[in-house]
Structure 1
Amino acid sequence: DVNDWSKSHVRDWALRLKGLDVSTADLLFEEKICGPSLLLLDKSDLTERGVKLGPAKLIIHARDELISENPTSSSDKPGKPSKPYPFGRYHDAFRYVEGSVLDVPESGASDFIEPCHEFKGFHQTPEENQLEKFTTDVIRFAAACMNSRTNGTIHFGIGDKQDKQDYVHGQVVGVTVNDKEKYLEGLKKAIDDYFEYKHKDAAQMCIKPPRFV
């Protein structure tokens, strides 16, 4: 955890950065930059102490990458309850906060109005398998909803019962999506592949495009 780093850890980390010389790493050590202060560092802090712009940008960029690769443990702790994205409201300005917990249970069809919910962690799925898993899970869930004549939402990036990580059920763990268009097109193709011709129009009307919240 970066928060546990001493100033020596920070110096050693800086020495491993390509394009950074020893004098800059030594400056961080002399200024007593430890893990917590590295997380608070900005470019002006460095340039005001004589670090040239190029090395300063390298340090800040590498620090930001370090944060993204090693998120703090606080993000693994369940946070405040959160409402799910409103059903059928496709243009609402709505965001989930990582660590919050959806305050709706996973549920099957109860009536024709109240939407059912299904959670998929998805964060442990290898990138090369993500699209296939996404389309398969969506089609399976959608077919069940159509057969039950009920509304429903399948949520990806939400901790489910099968997760082996330290997440509670329903916790927002998040998923990185680099190519949204791939998922939009992949779902369209899956509808064509999985549904018989006589059911395709109904499926296309019922299965909405994914919302990236």
Structure 2
Amino acid sequence: MSDDPHALFEEWLAEATLSEPNDPTAMALATATPDGLPSVRMVLLKGHDARGFTFYTNLDSRKGGELAANPNAALLFHWKSLRRQVRVEGAVERVADAEADAYFASRGRDSQLGAWASEQSRPLDARTTFEARFQETSARFAGGDVPRPPRWSGFRIVPERIEFWNDRAHRLHERRLFTRTEEGWRQGLLYP
């Protein structure tokens, strides 16, 4: 196995891409309020490199607000078909506007329009209200490009800890932990 947790993650993600029937990039994102009250939801990984793990969202959403107030998060990838999981913990930073613009431009048009029409995480009186907003937004941008909304961007989790978990018979699992140091990554094993 690799001594670089990012290279090892890429190997595992490539295997999951071949074996997972749906969304191998799906990850549970755990955030917390400033008071420490936890919240978790599924999001999609949209980028990974030595800097960290990136996803995008509405900055006014619940997760956006929690990350602004408490810029720390945890991720969990669970690939049932491989009987593996990866846990990531670290500080969170906003991606650069140019990076958010580039990713937004790569999205499908309806997804772009939905980002403008949705007041993510806010109460909605009826589905028809959202559908009407979507149609209004579609008409507004008809015939032209859809720019990234100012309240929509990305976050990168800069890992301090990355744990790779392999299922083993009789719950004798294998757990490999990488912890960031000033010199790079320290690695070790954890009891199952």
Q: Same fold (TM over 0.5)?
A: no
Instruction: Decide which structure has greater strand share.
Output: 2
TM-score normalised per structure 1: 0.22
Instruction: Decide which structure has greater helix share.
Output: 1
TM-score normalised per structure 2: 0.24
Flag the structure with more relative contact order, 1 or 2, with Cα contacts below 8 A and sequence separation at least 6: 2
Structure with greater Cα Rg: 1
